[in-house]
Amino acid sequence: MKENLINSNEIVYQTMRSSGNGGQNVNKVNSAVRATHQRSGISVVSMDSRSQHQNKKIATTRLLLKLQGFETNKLKDLVQKKWNNQTSIARGNPVKIFRGDKFSE
């Protein structure tokens, strides 16, 4: 799924404080970003960088990759469902069987 296929209005960003090492910066700066795709409900968190803007870019990239994987899995499931449908078809039960020299097999 490419970035232009997803409307940027469908992504909601939420800032929060990071966890882990970082000293005072962790306690007073909201640098972590959670990106949520509204239609699917899929969300990712980025707290890799000390910059909120960089974390927003990382979160957006991760969200797009996660949505792409989600769409790929949906497509694989659909193909598998169609395949399973084909293998479960009963191919018929003949009622009359004609035998003889005049009938070819």
Specify whether the CB–CB gap between 62 and 47 falls below 8 A: no
Of residues 55 and 7, the one with the higher pLDDT is 55
User: What token pair was written down for 105?
Assistant: 């097999």
Count CB neighbours of 48 within 10 A: 15
**Continuous segment of H or E residues that includes residue 80:** helix 52-87
User: What token pair was written down for 41?
Assistant: 């409900």
DSSP character for 66? H
pLDDT in tens, 19-78: 766 666 666 778 899 999 999 899 999 988 888 899 999 999 999 999 999 999 999 999
Of residues 98 and 80, the one with the higher pLDDT is 80
